[in-house]
Structure 1
């Protein structure tokens, strides 16, 4: 009986050992799975952390630390550091000159205002009784109303019997009735310089002058004006190409509901603008950058790398924004070597 019990205990022990071994193997397998999952979570956490940091960096971009326009500052620009007070009072400082209108000694017109009767005895008074006067000058513009001028080109018969006809002046259109050069110039000025839409330009001209111009007439003036300034634009292009320093940039604008890019090439005295896609193929039609050999100042957009014949200079304003962004991204790292091998701003 003792032998049977020992045999049974031995079998139970082996069974228990086998069960424990299987449990240990299962636990090790679960540990391996947990370890793999932990590694995956660690990688995912690092990836998400980097993503959040990148999103926060992008969210912090504004017109003060990037090339974004002020209109894109959805959350406003960060507050500037308070500057030390200078001790000066607000407003105009004592001793500085005023900025009011100065009276002129030669007015265009003069209107005399004379009392009609004496306040003492009631006698009639006129300008000849004046012993002095008080002056006031008013600056104003005359009311603008359309003035219709009829031009008559006569035909004259000579004593010899020949009839000679005088041609109409060159600035007069071929139609029997048309709008003159001053009104046409006003419409182009409102469209091009003030960026007033076509319909509002027509409405403004009607309200101010009384001329009931059509939107079609207003729109037709742009092509005519472009032809008249062609020689001037060619001269501006030539002078820009010959300059030692040239600034180039591009900004968004809209034609109706379509987003367009406005390219600019300029110096401190000359500016040339044209609408085109934001690419080298869009910049070339301006006729300046492909031929320029001086120092080109720009925002380091990739399209400018396509002009290797000139010297390139990063715009100082953009450089300051980049340094501001670096300071905001790495506030505690003032100097040293960056990951790319360059120097951190210090």
Structure 2
């Protein structure tokens, strides 16, 4: 076909050819994505291998990480000692063997036989009022007798709680592990009741976690979809200075946010684009820069010719601010200089997003950046502030894994228990506390008022 003489027609044909090539490329990517989604490992695949992967194995030199060998245990931890005697004759030539010395080898093993305790509960009555009273041993978790006298111990209950609520195993798998590894018969219903009981005993700790989060100078917040009884719900996460709190609610509203954070919170609140966070007018807001960068990069991937300018400018401005913050030296700038530096970033962003945009997606992004232009660069004034809410997103991952395994909770009571257990167990990890020890002590402390209460935050 002859090339048209009209310049406008030539430009039009060139534009059509570019769009056809673009449609072909997008169609190919869509087909690849559809085929990948039908593969069995699709939800967990990370894409094709990297062209230049890191060399496997340890790094050379001094900084190559910790050695993998297990150190010998102290003598007081050794429970058994066995002799590995020489054979009667040399295994190679059947000659006479002469012993020249001994060497030690250590083995750490799991207990396969369950430890069964028997408590002789002494029962009496008061001569003054006549009321019945029974004894309570520090290892008991309940006063139940009769048909409910045979129970699971506190360490075993804590282990079941950890496997389900933190490791993400279903109640059926928890029961299977107890039977296969420990020789303890456990049903799905027993695993459920153990979790509910642990949540009840840990309720005081949950309130402490909420109070600790409210008092935090910085709070990172995020939320994800959940299910309660097959109905849609939301799981919220708040990461404070020392504690992490979770709560499950049927709505993605500001009501639960105000109940947990407090409407008069005046700290730093790092969050995504969820509009309900705007209710906290006393707080210093830091919008998640990673979300804005992700949107700009997605627009840049689809842009052609001159349309690449706006997303590139957004990416360059936000990236410049992050690089400045990461390279900031404490004490190098005074407050006035930091404030002026932040104002310069605000002004540059406002000038960038105030211009009219013909592309609807660009106009939407520009409007979002303009509406919150004072909430993007709080980390420039105070470099201690994180530019993203990555801490909350990391905390959400634990819930996402659990959701993939067993989908959510069946009842509102289970959802409440889920929030309590995840909050306390995650905070225990942040406080370098043993989850099993803390839950076990909480189970034994309930009803044993003469025992010291386990402390989650010390003091």
Deviations 1:132-164 (A, max 9, x none): 234443333222x333322113469xxxxxxx9
CA distance in 1, matches of 2:259, 2:217: 18
Please tell me the root mean square deviation across aligned C-alpha atoms, in Å: 4.2
Q: Normalising to structure 2: TM-score of the pair?
A: 0.48
Deviation at 1:244, TM superposition (A): 1.6
Q: Which residue in 1 is equivalent to 2:141? A: 171
The correspondence for 1:185, drawn from 146, 158, 170, is: 158
Matches within 5 A, 1:151-300: 151-154=119-122, 167-169=135-137, 171-176=141-146, 177-179=149-151, 180-255=153-228, 257-267=230-240, 269-281=242-254, 283-284=256-257, 287-300=260-273
Deviations 1:205-245 (A, max 9, x none): 23333332333332223332222112211221122112121
Greater relative contact order, per chain length (Cα 8 Å cut-off, separation 6+): 2
Deviation at 1:258, TM superposition (A): 4.3
Unaligned runs of 5+ in 2: 1-18, 31-41, 125-131, 314-351, 358-362, 371-459
- Are residues 172 and 130 of structure 1, via their aligned partners in 2, closer, same or farther at CA, if it must alter by over 3 Å? farther
Q: Does 1:117 align with 2:59?
A: no
Deviation at 1:189, TM superposition (A): 1.7
Deviation at 1:90, TM superposition (A): 4.9
Matches within 5 A, 1:1-346: 90-95=56-61, 96=64, 99-104=67-72, 106=74, 108=78, 109-117=80-88, 119=90, 130-143=99-112, 145-154=113-122, 167-169=135-137, 171-176=141-146, 177-179=149-151, 180-255=153-228, 257-267=230-240, 269-281=242-254, 283-284=256-257, 287-330=260-303, 332=305, 333-334=308-309, 335=313, 337=355, 339=357, 340=363
Unaligned runs of 5+ in 1: 1-48, 61-72, 157-163
CA distance in 2, matches of 1:192, 1:174: 26
CA distance in 1, matches of 2:181, 2:55: 43
Q: Normalising to structure 1: TM-score of the pair?
A: 0.61
Deviation at 1:81, TM superposition (A): 10
CA distance in 2, matches of 1:338, 1:110: 81
Say whether the 8 Å CA contact 2:219–2:241 is kept in structure 1: no
